[in-house]
Amino acid sequence: MSKTPEPYELLLAMLLVQNSLERRSETFFQPFGLTASKFNILNLLSIKNGQMDQSELVDQLLVGKSSISIVLNRMVRDNLIKREPHPKDRRQVVLVITKKGHEIWSKAAPDYEANVREVFGKVPPSHRNQFLQDLKKLHQAISEHDHKKSSGAGQSSLSATEKG
What is the pLDDT averaged over residues 81-106? 93
pLDDT tier at 158, thresholds 50, 70, 90: low
Measured over the CA atoms of residue 36, residue 39, residue 44 and residue 47, the dihedral's sign is negative
* 37 in any annotated domain: yes
* Pairwise pLDDT comparison (67 vs 38), residue with the higher score: 38
E strand or H helix at 96, and its extent?
strand 93-97
Q: Is residue 162, in this structure, part of any structural domain at all?
A: no
Q: What pLDDT score does 130 carry?
A: 96
Based on the structure, what is the number of domains in the chain?
1
Let me know if residue 144 belongs to a domain.
no
* Mean pLDDT computed over every residue of the chain: 88
Q: Are 101 and 81 in contact (CB under 8 A)?
A: yes
CATH code of the domain in which 54 resides: 1.10.10.10
Q: Is the pTM of this model over 0.85?
A: no
Please say if the pLDDT value at position 155 is more than 70. Answer: no
Give the gyration radius of the chain's Cα atoms.
Answer: 19
DSSP secondary structure letter of residue 30: G
Give the domain extent around 107: 30-122
pLDDT band with cut points at 50, 70 and 90 for residue 60:
confident
Determine the Cα–Cα distance for residues 152 and 82; give it in Å rounded to an integer.
41
Query: Is 150 part of any domain?
Result: no
Q: How far apart are the two ends of the chain, measured CA to CA in Å?
A: 23
C-alpha distances (whole Å) from 150 to each of 38, 153, 155 are: 29, 7, 5
